């Protein structure tokens, strides 16, 4: 299989994913040259690496600011990593820019589902339960529907679970994992704030 994987194929996958040349070559070899499967292979590898470095302290990083071109919307974001070396790289700053654009576009309320207050979820469940009360569906079916609605609530309101506005099928967490795979460092969004003229902040 190795002889079928050309240098141009490796370069193409690298351009698509930003992963290292050796990782791209291995991914293509493992997946028989299938680019979609190779991308999935790299993503899974990145997720494993993210799990390994998850406990490392993230004392370095940057405060990134983004002001929309109409000067009516702005974002401040704290993105952290392990070393100042990675914090100063163009890839890290590019990731911060992508995340800031996401926050500006999609107005998430929290970084992750762990940050959503329990009383908010309880209120959402209460609303959904009331909506389903007269549906005539069995209780176990209603429970499944409510679970699905809560999952959608997380995907809409938690930054890490939102689909990246410029790449269908890829979440903000996936973008972070991609860079973790490349740098070997723990990368975390610590906090953000989004201001809209006349609309306060969130």
pLDDT tens, N- to C-terminus, the chain (202 residues)? 444 888 888 888 887 776 777 888 888 888 888 888 888 888 777 766 667 676 677 789 999 999 998 899 999 999 999 999 999 999 999 999 999 999 999 999 999 999 999 999 999 999 988 888 777 788 888 889 999 999 999 999 999 999 999 988 889 999 998 888 888 888 999 999 999 998 767 7
CATH for 60-112+158-201 (1.10.357.10, 3.40.50.300, 3.40.50.720, 3.30.479.20):
3.30.479.20
Sorted by where each begins, the domain ranges of the chain are 2-53, 60-112+158-201, 117-156
Architecture of domain 2-53: Orthogonal Bundle (1.10)
Contact in structure between 111 and 160 (CB atoms under 8 Å)? yes
Query: Please, which contacts does 113-120 make with residues 24 or more away whose CB atoms are closer than 8 Å?
Result: 113/154, 113/158, 113/161, 115/158, 116/154, 116/157, 116/158
């Amino acid at each position: 299989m190795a002889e079928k994987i050309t240098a141009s194929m490796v370069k193409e996958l690298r351009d698509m994913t930003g992963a290292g040349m050796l990782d791209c070559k291995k991914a293509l070899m493992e997946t028989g040259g299938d680019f979609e499967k190779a991308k999935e292979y790299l993503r899974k590898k990145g997720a494993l690496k993210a799990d390994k470095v998850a406990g490392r302290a993230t004392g370095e990083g940057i405060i990134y600011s983004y002001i929309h071109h109409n000067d009516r919307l702005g974002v401040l974001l704290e993105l952290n990593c392990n070393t100042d070396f990675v914090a100063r790289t163009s890839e890290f700053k590019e990731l911060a820019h992508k995340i800031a654009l996401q926050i500006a576009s999609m107005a998430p309320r929290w970084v992750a589902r762990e940050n959503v207050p329990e009383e908010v979820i309880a209120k959402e469940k209460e609303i959904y339960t009331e909506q389903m009360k007269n549906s005539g569906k069995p209780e176990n079916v209603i429970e499944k529907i409510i679970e699905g609605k809560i999952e959608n609530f997380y995907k809409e309101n938690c930054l890490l679970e939102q689909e990246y506005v410029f790449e269908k099928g890829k979440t903000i967490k996936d973008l972070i994992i991609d860079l973790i795979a490349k740098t070997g460092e723990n990368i975390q969004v610590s906090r953000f704030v989004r201001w809209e003229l006349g609309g306060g902040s969130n």
